[in-house]
Structure 1
Amino acid sequence: MSRTRIPVGRVELAALAPGTIEAAPGPVIGLTDTGAAASIGPGRGHTLIVAWPGLGTTTVLRTLAAQYARRGTHVDVLDVSGQHAWARGQQRVHLHEDAGSIHRRLLQLAAQVRAERKGPPRVVLVESDQTINTLLRFRHYPHPGGTGLDALTTVLAGGLLCGIRVVMACRAVPVPIAHVAQDLFATRLLAAPSPRTWQLVGAPGAPVPDEPYRAGLMHLVHGGGHQRVRLLQLTPLQAAHLATTSGPIGRPTRWRRPRLRRRLHACHLARLAAPAASTFQIPRIQGDFR
C-alpha cells in the first residue's frame, strides 16, 4: 500500500480558505494531509518546536506571534539572532534582542508566577538555542530571583495558571528538562525527529516517522496522537500587517509615493494654451490678449 504523498513546501496565506484564521479556535499552524487547518487551541498548554535551523522554526514563531497579537494577546519575542525585525514597533509584540533585556523580562514573569498573580493573556516566544546560550554566558549581578534560565523554568512550571504561555524552539530537547518535557509541553512540533527525540516528546506507542528533512513539514503531537502539517508561511510584511489588523484579512498593499496633483488655475490654463515663446521672439504685450 503506497503512502499518501503530500506536496512539499510551506503553505502561503493566499492558499487558505477565506475565514480560516478567524474561525480557528487558536493560531493556525498550517494544513494537515486532508487539507484541514491545524491550530493551537486554548487548552494546548506550552509548545515545544524541535527542528534544525532552516526547517521552519522561525516561520512557526513568526506565524504564531502575528496571530496571537491579532487576537489581543501580548507577545514577548526573545530573540538575539535578529530573525524577528518585523516585530519592532508593534503595539502588542515586544521584541527583546539583548541578553540583559531578556533576563529582566524573564525575572519579571517569574515574579508574577511566584506571586500567583494572574494577568492578561501573554505568550513568550523563545527563538532558537542561541538565545538560551546567550543567557548562559550572560553575567549579571546576584539577584534573589535567580538566573534567566531559572526564571524560564519557573514560567514553564506555573505560567499557565497566570495566563502565560511559552513557545520554545530548539535543535534538540534540552537535557535538564528532557525527563519532564512531555509534562511541560502539551503541544510539540517535530521536524524529521530522531529516535531519541521521538522517544522523549513523540506520540506514545507510535513508530518513529521515517521521513527525510523537508523544510516546512513537521509533525504535530498532542494528546497522544500526531499528524503531519505543512506550515503556514507568513512573510515579515504579512506578519506585521496581520498583527496590527482585526478585520478581514487582505493582501497588504505595497506602499507607493503619493502623486502630487496640481490645481490648475485660470492663469495656468492661459499659459498652457498660449504657444511656447522662443528666446528669439518678441515678448507679447498686454494688448495682444483678447
Structure 2
Amino acid sequence: MNKTALPTKLSFHAPDLREQIEALPEGTALIGISTHGDAIAVDLDAECPHVLVCTATGGGSTTVLRSLTAQFLHQGAHALVLDPKRISHLWAKGLPTVTHRGNVAGIHDALVGLGEELARRLDLDDSELDAAPRLIVSVDSAHAALRQLTRYWETFRGKDDPHTSPAVAALEAALWTGRAARVHVILVGTPSTSPLGAAPHEMFGTVILARVTTSTWQRLAPLAGPAPKPSRQDGRVHVVQHGEDAHETQAIWMTDADVVTWLIDVEAPES
C-alpha cells in the first residue's frame, strides 16, 4: 500500500476532522491519521483498557494525552489529570468534570481518592456501574510524578505504614482492575520503571511511541518488528496495537483553547 502525503500538522480544525471525531462511539478516541490514510483510534472497551505514551522530549506526548483526554470528556467521561509540571495541562483547570492536580501533595491525595473510588466501583452491580461515568486517569511525566510520590510518602510514613506509597499502590490497582470499574489510565512514561514496576507493558492495549531509542522500542513493542527510524516531524508517532500492528501516524493537534472551547460546547473559532 502506498503512503499518503500527510499535512505537517493535523489540526483539530482540519476539514471534517471534528465531525469524524464526534461520530466515534463512546469509549473510542481518534489518535490520528496513518500514512496509509487510515483513521487510527483507541477503543477502551474492545482492547486493553489503558494507553501508554512514550516519547523523547518534543515527541508530542503532552499533546496526545490532551487530545485523547478531551475526546473522552466530550463523550461524558470524567477525568483526573495529574500534571507534575503544573503548567502542561492548564486547559483542565476549571472544567466541571475534571480534577487537575499539579503539586505532589495534591497528586498524592487525588490518587488515594482514586483508590477509594476504584474500590467503591468494584462493589457496584452491573447496572449501577453502567450508570457511572467513565473515569480517565491522565498521568503526564509519570517518571517524575512517581519519584515525587515515593519521596513524599517517605517524609511522613510511620513504622507501621506500608513501604509503598498508597498513591502509587492506587495507580497500580487502577492498571490491574480498571477495566472492571470503567477506570482507564493514559500514562506518559514507561510502566517498567520503579516504583510501578509490577505493572507490565502488556497492561496497555495501545502504545504510542515517538523518537524513542531502539532498546525502548524493543521493550515496549517487541512484536512490532524492528524499531523504525525516528521521525523529526512534529506530531509523527508510531501507534502499536494488539502487540504487533504498528501504524505510522500523524497525531491530532488540539490546543488548550481548542479543548476548552469544544468542551464548553461553544462553536470552535476558525484557525
TM-score scaled by length of structure 2: 0.81
Q: How far apart, in 2, do the equivalents of 1:99 and 1:108 lie? A: 14
Q: Determine the structure 2 residue equivalent to 1:274.
A: none
Structure 1 residue 36 displacement after superposition: 2.8
Structure 1 residue 20 displacement after superposition: 0.5
Q: For 1:189-268, what aligned pairs fall within 5 Å after superposition?
A: 189-202=208-221, 204=223, 206-223=225-242, 224-245=244-265, 250-252=267-269
- Gapped regions of structure 1 (runs ≥ 5): 255-290
Matched, 1:10 2:1: no
Q: Determine the structure 2 residue equivalent to 1:41.
A: 43
- Gapped regions of structure 2 (runs ≥ 5): 124-128
Count matched residues: 249
Instruction: Name the larger-Rg structure.
Output: 1
Q: Determine the structure 2 residue equivalent to 1:91.
A: 96
The structure carrying a bigger strand percent of its residues is 2
Q: How far apart, in 2, do the equivalents of 1:35 and 1:5 lie? A: 6
Task: Please tell me whether the aligned partners of residues 124 and 167 of structure 1 are also in contact (alpha carbons under 8 angstroms).
Answer: yes
Aligned pair partner of 1:68 in 66, 72, 76: 72
Q: For 1:114-263, what aligned pairs fall within 5 Å after superposition?
A: 114=119, 116-117=122-123, 118=129, 119-128=132-141, 129-138=143-152, 139-142=155-158, 146-170=165-189, 172=190, 174-176=192-194, 181-202=200-221, 204=223, 206-223=225-242, 224-245=244-265, 250-252=267-269
| Structure 1 range deviating more: 86-95 or 110-119 | 110-119
Write out per-residue CA displacement over residues 56-98 of structure 1, whole angstroms, 9 at most, x where no aligned residue.
0111111112111111000110002111111111011211111
TM-score scaled by length of structure 1: 0.76
- SS of 1:27's partner is strand
Write out per-residue CA displacement over residues 172-203 of structure 1, whole angstroms, 9 at most, x where no aligned residue.
55334568533211110000332222222215
Q: CA RMSD for the aligned pairs? A: 2.7
| Structure 1 range deviating more: 13-22 or 43-52 | 13-22
Name the CA shift for 1:32/1:203 in 2 (closer, same or farther; >3 Å): farther
Q: How far apart, in 2, do the equivalents of 1:35 and 1:244 lie? A: 31
Name the CA shift for 1:42/1:212 in 2 (closer, same or farther; >3 Å): closer
Q: For 1:16-55, what aligned pairs fall within 5 Å after superposition?
A: 16-17=15-16, 19-25=19-25, 26-43=28-45, 44=47, 45-55=49-59
- SS of 2:171's partner is helix
Name the CA shift for 1:208/1:140 in 2 (closer, same or farther; >3 Å): same
Query: Among the aligned pairs, what percent are the same residue?
Result: 25
- Runs of 4+ aligned residues of structure 1 deviating over 6 Å after TM superposition are none
